[in-house]
A and B are shown apart, each in its own frame.
Chain A
Amino acid sequence: MSTPRAFDPSRRGFLRSLVGGSALYPGLVARLLADDAASSGLSSQPTDPLAPRAAHFTPKAKRVIFLYMSGGVSHVDSWDPKPKLFADAGKTVSVDEFQGRKGDFQMFAKRPQWEFRRHGRCGTEVSSLFPHMAECVDDLCVIRSLKSDHTNHYEATLGIHTGSFTFARPSIGSWVSYGLGTENRNLPSFVVIAPKTPYAGGQVWAGDFLPGAHQGTLVVPGAEPVANLRRRVPSSRLQELELGAMARMNRQHLAPRADDPLLSARMRSFETAFGMQMELPDVFDLSRESDATLALYGLERGSTQGFAWQCLVARRLAERGVRFVELIDVGSSDNWDAHGDMLTHTPLAKNVDQAVAGLLRDLKLRGMLEDTLVVWTTEFGRTPFNAAADAKGREHHHWVFSSWLAGAGVRAGTVYGESDDHGIRVGRDGVHVHDFHATILHLMGLDHERLTYRHTGRDYRLTDVAGEVVRGILA
């Protein structure tokens, strides 16, 4: 379980001992102590957009881990079993649109590449593409009736992240950060871990018109996961000297300026930055994780690559009070976009399968799954059919596809919604991306119709002018 850490007492003690003997530092220390008093009441300060804020109603989940698979995972090869698609493989089906073009198209039903089998006590069917995740079905609510508005990667990726399929808008993580603030001011409230840039680039985690503090902070697996996080001066002592001198200078500057909050907020931001330098490397330091834990994720000791690393770091961020962590598995190429051959799904599934299952189990072991919402999604599915009978791949398919939710407030071990016989259209209980978002916000204690931000004379929402909370997903 995580505890809110507005300011880590151990760090404060460390600082005091380090600077106590120097005539240069009383300004900094005084400032730190003043912060202590201010933060003990967790008072919402107008100048601090990340201060914790009360939800609209009692939340089920305190934080979100959002797993996004880039490129479009085939639903009929993973979470959505279609016996009729197996049976009718090679037969023609009629569709009135193909890859964005209207018309009458005769297409060939294409047999799924992976066999399905029932799993868990609940018996939810999952294909052999995801053998590890399949073992977790008793914790999942699989949605088999998700639908999007666009057949193109860029727009669909923007849509699943921002609710807007054309124009840049704040990301769902930014909205959650804006709605709830953060529990740990040493860390950003919204962290995105992505090895590569996804479709639509940084717009995917941008705060857009929301205050800048809500934008996602990008973590790139590797040597320097956050820009400028690594101290450039040779020792911590030197940086303390610089910060101390700056704090003193800023205090002298502040005094005759009526404690202008613009100025004091900036001073505080240096302290958070200092905190990030201390705390984020600790987040990334997996050396004290046990072999058993690493094995759970399938992470080799010392490795900083792959979805296993991303998942384990996500858990560590969640533990430390980060509100919204998004993991993107790959970028805008060499991804799930299997036009040429469905077998390209295999290595991508291998990258995420055990890692995600490990994350779910680890969260559960630590009791964190009770107040953490885990979301697994992609921008669209893949066509159950193709233009040629012998096509090896599948095209983009936004009419229906699959995702799942797990954790806090989610009706575990269930399936919500159905696609039609061949997985072409929604069969029952369709969930539009806006409904999906409304439900996620609901689990965070936020009413998607009340979480608004006024911009250019309009009150904007994540869900635009649509979206309904899907009650059937809720526990």
Chain B
Amino acid sequence: MNRPILTLLFSVGFAMHSVAATPNPTGHWAFQPVQNPAPPAVQNPDWCQTSLDPFILARLESSHVTPAPPADRRALIRRASFDLTGLPPSASEIDAFVADTTPDAWKTVVDRLLDSPHYGEHWGRHWLDVVRYADTAGETADYPVPVAWRYRNYVIDAFNTDKPYDQFLREQIAGDILARQGPRERYAEQVTATGYLAISRRFGFDSENYHHLTIQDTIDTVGQSVLGLTLGCARCHAHKYDPVSMPEYYGLYGIFESTRYAFPGSEQKQRHRAMVPLLPPEESTPQWQAFEMQVASLTQQLERQKKSAPSAVLRSLDELDGDFEMQAPAAGGSKGVLVPPWVYEGPIAVTHDAQSPFKNLHPLGKVGASVASGTNGYRIGQSWHRRRHHDSGRLLHVNLDVRIGTHEPAATGIHRFWIGNRNSGPAVEILLSSDSASIRTGEQLEVVRSFGTNTWHNLQLTLDLQAGTVSGRFGTPDDITAFPPRPLAPAASAGVDFFGIDAQANGNTVLPSIAFDNLGIQESPLAPVTTQQPAVAPSTEPTDPTAIHAQLESLLADGPFAMVYGVSEGTPGDARIQVRGEPDRPGAEVPRGFLAALGGGPLPKETEGSGRLELAHWLTTPTNPLTARVMVNRIWQYHFGQGLVKTPNDFGTRGQPPTHPELLDHLATAFMRSGWSIKAMHRLILTSATYRQQSRHSATPTPPTADRFTDECPVDPSPNTAATRATAPLPVSVKAPSVAAGVPPAVEGGVPPPGYLPRSSPVINVVSHTEPSPDLVSPFTRRRLAAEEVRDAILRVSGTLDATPGQGHPFPSPTRWGYTQHGPYAATYDHTRRSVYLMTQRIKRHPFLALFDGADPNASTAERRTSTVPTQALFFLNDPFVHAQAETFAQRVLATTPAEPLQIAAAYRLALGRNPTPAEQRDAASFLAEYRAELELAGKDNPLQGAHAAFARVLFGSNEFLTVD
């Protein structure tokens, strides 16, 4: 989509329109400030273990329902292990917990699980669901994004290190800006976080042509993931239900339109670009230059041998000209399409015809931009980050090649190239008429030289910001006119951050045609203009073309340094409303900003960049009524199967109200006071009596002190079962979450802080209730394992799980990409690492993850569905993965002991973490005997292992293996 240019951008000043009336914050609960309510009085305070329990108990008591009895220790450790790490506990972990008589036994388990690196893999996956993570872009050819994994691992690491949630969000929204603020050692991490925005879905066969849809996708996901709001409705009309106006929607839109997204490639443009270096620019720029030289050298060697070189488009973020190269004309078309960070209007074409012959800036190039002769004005420009001031202490070197068209007496119009400040105007202007070039700085105007038409000329400027001067050269390689330093215009004192090429429409004045190419701004000196390829030092590199080709391919695939699929600052500007959501129907321009109902407003006038940094702060300010509530609700939901708000991505008026509004606020307050610590929230929840209830069982519940699995166990390979009967009710120490500085104090004076445990009120009997009541959070909700847990648990118990973190995937080299909608990218890459490290594609879903209700990689998944379909059963019966793991499992069991009863016990302990009952022993023994006999009858090899593998499949497919009580 064409980026509507800003009326005021090229002149001085930056208007702040008043926003059209925003609906007043409604009385809707979610927009009210977070309170810190006092825990309600309860009749049975002894039941309560942490500060959250009274809130649950009070509701149960008023509904005349008794809480479910406490779960036994086996159920509890299995529940906590899956909830926190997504993996089953080992038999020895279970035995240790059952045998632990210390008061801190439960806390020890919780701490151990939270300290496990598998915790981040499991909880990172929850976040990846919410932000619809994928390893491909999602446009019609589904281009792979080989570096997306760095963001995935950033998320996992953030959970493992308990990164404060507010910081986690700020980094994902504005990590590239924060990275420049330091410290240096966190640069790469913070830049990587912006993968959150970059993984926005791409559309169409030329996805930059549908960038407005990608921005919509970003806004939808930010709204749902952080705020629990569906903002998308306001794209086309004032939000009917929630206080989001159209101007506010486009206020957010402007922030993301001012942001540059890494480009993954698409059918039309089959190479990625604008990937974000993990190094700051002062380190990356020289490495880019060395890299480009090396690429050029190898390419030339191949060309000299008349061999084709791999496609060499891999462009630096700083390389302005690279954009022309990537916006080349579409197949069958005559013009390319310019995309952000360019802002432009008017009849500008990107064409092969506008290719400059000069090689000093870019040895390889195919296209440039041009404007035909005529009376129409045009403007093109972009911001340049960071803004350079006089105290930046460096020289800026500017390169531009131009060609003015045929001299016609009627063509008296003037083109202008300028560099200066986005708000206060040009520091220096180069004016190009049909026969001469002039330089203007403020009031000073001087002709540099005259020139002939239809000839490419090179302009080089050197801005000395410290001295406040500009000097330069203009001409052709054998005819250069230099001009001495002269003072910059006063606007330069505001800092240099913008450049543009434009011409005013002025009645009937005809503009000569213009072509321009090789635009560059850099801090290192420019090479003199030349039509020769830059001389490359004679190398010791291979001369065999196959070897050169291979070297070039790997260079282009790897780049000069590690990069991420992230975002960077684009050209800041306000967006125009799109009437009925149609980008080709622009309406009024609206200032960038954040929702007034959530404490936002227009961006401060002095804002330098896109506004993402300000947005990040708006989202995470403790007075924002939604951010903390939404996240504690998610944490609650992932532990209990249902959120306090049952629509975790919709806290708006169309969503469900909370079942326990006061508890939600209590948790949100505790969360912010703990310094937004997610692990503190886990501790608060897991140590509660609410969490430790039994799941739905028959009316006569098993007494919590009985361990019915071990009591009648005939054999036990474990050395420490003697202790397993000692399952006492769990003593738990109640601790208030640590309080962090910077969070406002409790709203009501004299109210006990979260974590305080009230002890009062008499005990009265209430009616027993065994039906599941998810709204009452009693009993605990049984659940089936999620897709990843199914696969990981099978790998784990079979002993084949590779517990090391995954990295990238073996994608084909980018130099070979040619995916189209006719032949889209499609692959699965197998490994035995955890499932969070599986390559996930957008168009073609991973077959296993799709079968077991994995996350939708195209839209925020707030809750996993649990479908029960026969094709899942076929997987357990016949899938090669299950059969292979079952064989390994059988080998593992057979290796433990030659005695069959012990083998059966070992299988139970490995798969289910418990010993079999005598009846189960008998059943298993007769199964093995019968199965083995059948195999022998059929003349199969190794019937013993075959029978044990079959028994393993029975265990893997059993409900006990696949559900968590």
Chain A residues in the interface with B (C-beta under 8 A): 22-24, 47, 49, 99, 101, 152-155, 166-168, 188, 197, 199-203, 206, 208, 211-213, 217, 226-235, 237-239, 241-243, 245-246, 248-250, 252-258, 260, 262-263, 265-270, 272-277, 332-333, 337, 456-458
Question: Besides A166-B213, A232-B878, A269-B873, 14 other CB < 8 A contacts?
Answer: A49-B867, A152-B204, A153-B821, A201-B844, A237-B934, A238-B934, A245-B951, A249-B923, A255-B698, A258-B698, A262-B784, A268-B868, A456-B647, A457-B655
Q: Give Cα distance in the complex from A155 to B874, angstroms.
A: 33
Mark interface residues in B863-881 (1 if CB within 8 Å of A CB, else 0): 0011111111111111110
A190 → chain B closest CB, angstroms: 11
Please list 20 pairs of residues, one from A and one from B, whose beta carbons are closer than 8 Å in the complex, sorted by A's number. Answer: A24-B927, A49-B867, A152-B821, A155-B204, A201-B824, A201-B843, A206-B845, A227-B847, A228-B879, A229-B874, A234-B940, A241-B931, A249-B923, A250-B958, A253-B958, A253-B959, A269-B868, A269-B873, A270-B957, A272-B873
Q: Give Cα distance in the complex from A243 to B878, angstroms.
A: 12
- CB pair B821–A154 under 8 Å, yes or no, is yes
- CB pair B930–A168 under 8 Å, yes or no, is no
Contacts of A267 in B (CB 8 A): 959
Contacts of B938 in A (CB 8 A): 234-235
- CB pair B203–A166 under 8 Å, yes or no, is yes
- CB pair B782–A260 under 8 Å, yes or no, is yes
Q: Give Cα distance in the complex from A231 to B959, angstroms.
A: 21
Q: Give Cα distance in the complex from A24 to B934, angstroms.
A: 15
Q: Give Cα distance in the complex from A332 to B142, angstroms.
A: 14
B827 → chain A closest CB, angstroms: 13
Q: Give Cα distance in the complex from A275 to B204, angstroms.
A: 42
Q: Give Cα distance in the complex from A49 to B213, angstroms.
A: 34
Q: Give Cα distance in the complex from A229 to B962, angstroms.
A: 21
B294 touches A (CB below 8 Å) = no
- CB pair B650–A456 under 8 Å, yes or no, is yes
B663 → chain A closest CB, angstroms: 22
B456 → chain A closest CB, angstroms: 30
- CB pair B950–A241 under 8 Å, yes or no, is yes
- CB pair B931–A238 under 8 Å, yes or no, is yes
B630 → chain A closest CB, angstroms: 14
Name the residue on A nearest B332 (C-beta): A99
- CB pair A202–B850 under 8 Å, yes or no, is yes
Q: Give Cα distance in the complex from A250 to B871, angstroms.
A: 19
Contacts of B926 in A (CB 8 A): 23-24
- From known contacts A153-B821, A241-B931, infer whether A227 and B963 are also in contact, taking CB-CB under 8 Å: no
Contacts of A257 in B (CB 8 A): 695-698, 782, 965
B285 → chain A closest CB, angstroms: 38
From the candidates A213, A228, A332, name the one contacting B878 in the complex (CB within 8 A): A228
Q: Give Cα distance in the complex from A157 to B363, angstroms.
A: 43
- CB pair B865–A212 under 8 Å, yes or no, is yes
Mark interface residues in B142-170 (1 if CB within 8 Å of A CB, else 0): 10000000000000000000000000000
Q: Give Cα distance in the complex from A333 to B824, angstroms.
A: 10
A345 → chain B closest CB, angstroms: 17
Q: Give Cα distance in the complex from A462 to B491, angstroms.
A: 57
Q: 7 tightest A-B contacts by CB?
A: A212-B867, A273-B873, A272-B870, A457-B654, A228-B878, A154-B140, A273-B870
Q: Give Cα distance in the complex from A152 to B205, angstroms.
A: 9
Contacts of B940 in A (CB 8 A): 234
Contacts of B920 in A (CB 8 A): 249, 252
Q: Give Cα distance in the complex from A249 to B873, angstroms.
A: 15
A199 → chain B closest CB, angstroms: 6
B774 → chain A closest CB, angstroms: 12
- CB pair A228–B875 under 8 Å, yes or no, is yes
B883 touches A (CB below 8 Å) = yes
- CB pair B868–A273 under 8 Å, yes or no, is no
Q: Give Cα distance in the complex from A227 to B851, angstroms.
A: 11
- CB pair B927–A263 under 8 Å, yes or no, is no
Name the residue on B nearest A208 (C-beta): B856
Name the residue on B nearest A258 (C-beta): B698
Contacts of A201 in B (CB 8 A): 142, 824, 826, 843-844
Q: Give Cα distance in the complex from A393 to B784, angstroms.
A: 54
- CB pair A256–B879 under 8 Å, yes or no, is no
Contacts of B303 in A (CB 8 A): none
B963 → chain A closest CB, angstroms: 7
Mark interface residues in B636-666 (1 if CB within 8 Å of A CB, else 0): 0000000000010110101100000000000
Q: Give Cα distance in the complex from A201 to B142, angstroms.
A: 10
Q: Which of B935-965 contact A (CB under 8 A)?
A: 935, 938, 940, 950-951, 953-955, 957-960, 962-963, 965
Contacts of A456 in B (CB 8 A): 224, 230, 647, 649-650
Q: Which of B576-602 contact A (CB under 8 A)?
A: none
B853 touches A (CB below 8 Å) = yes
B879 → chain A closest CB, angstroms: 5
Q: Give Cα distance in the complex from A149 to B954, angstroms.
A: 51
- CB pair A249–B958 under 8 Å, yes or no, is yes
From the candidates A24, A263, A276, A333, name the one contacting B923 in the complex (CB within 8 A): A24
Contacts of B654 in A (CB 8 A): 457-458
- CB pair A232–B883 under 8 Å, yes or no, is yes
Name the residue on B nearest A187 (C-beta): B870
- CB pair B853–A212 under 8 Å, yes or no, is yes
From the candidates A213, A262, A274, name the one contacting B782 in the complex (CB within 8 A): A262
B912 → chain A closest CB, angstroms: 10
Name the residue on B nearest A249 (C-beta): B958
A237 → chain B closest CB, angstroms: 6
- CB pair A188–B870 under 8 Å, yes or no, is yes
Name the residue on A nearest B647 (C-beta): A457
B858 touches A (CB below 8 Å) = yes
- CB pair B871–A246 under 8 Å, yes or no, is no
Contacts of A233 in B (CB 8 A): 950
Contacts of B826 in A (CB 8 A): 197, 201
B730 → chain A closest CB, angstroms: 21
- CB pair A266–B959 under 8 Å, yes or no, is yes
B823 touches A (CB below 8 Å) = yes
Q: Give Cα distance in the complex from A267 to B924, angstroms.
A: 19
B88 → chain A closest CB, angstroms: 16
- CB pair B823–A213 under 8 Å, yes or no, is no
Name the residue on A nearest B865 (C-beta): A212
Name the residue on A nearest B940 (C-beta): A234
Max chain A CB contacts within 10 Å: which of B697, B869, B931? B869
Mark interface residues in B216-238 (1 if CB within 8 Å of A CB, else 0): 00000000100000100000000
- CB pair B696–A260 under 8 Å, yes or no, is yes
- From known contacts A166-B213, A266-B784, A276-B870, infer whether A256 and B844 are also in contact, taking CB-CB under 8 Å: no
B333 touches A (CB below 8 Å) = yes
- CB pair B869–A213 under 8 Å, yes or no, is yes
From the candidates B695, B697, B871, B955, name the one contacting A188 in the complex (CB within 8 A): B871
B300 touches A (CB below 8 Å) = no
Mark interface residues in B45-83 (1 if CB within 8 Å of A CB, else 0): 000000000000000000000000000000000000000
- CB pair B844–A197 under 8 Å, yes or no, is yes
B290 → chain A closest CB, angstroms: 40
B822 touches A (CB below 8 Å) = yes
Q: Give Cα distance in the complex from A188 to B654, angstroms.
A: 34
- From known contacts A212-B867, A257-B782, A269-B873, infer whether A332 and B844 are also in contact, taking CB-CB under 8 Å: no
A245 → chain B closest CB, angstroms: 5
Q: Give Cα distance in the complex from A261 to B271, angstroms.
A: 51
- CB pair B823–A333 under 8 Å, yes or no, is yes
Q: Give Cα distance in the complex from A92 to B867, angstroms.
A: 56
Name the residue on A nearest B951 (C-beta): A245
Contacts of A268 in B (CB 8 A): 868
A50 → chain B closest CB, angstroms: 9
Q: Give Cα distance in the complex from A257 to B821, angstroms.
A: 50
Name the residue on A nearest B872 (C-beta): A269
- CB pair B871–A227 under 8 Å, yes or no, is yes
Contacts of A47 in B (CB 8 A): 868
- CB pair B959–A263 under 8 Å, yes or no, is yes
- CB pair B230–A457 under 8 Å, yes or no, is yes
Contacts of A256 in B (CB 8 A): 697-698, 702
B869 → chain A closest CB, angstroms: 5
- CB pair B868–A242 under 8 Å, yes or no, is no
- From known contacts A228-B879, A260-B782, A270-B957, infer whether A234 and B867 are also in contact, taking CB-CB under 8 Å: no
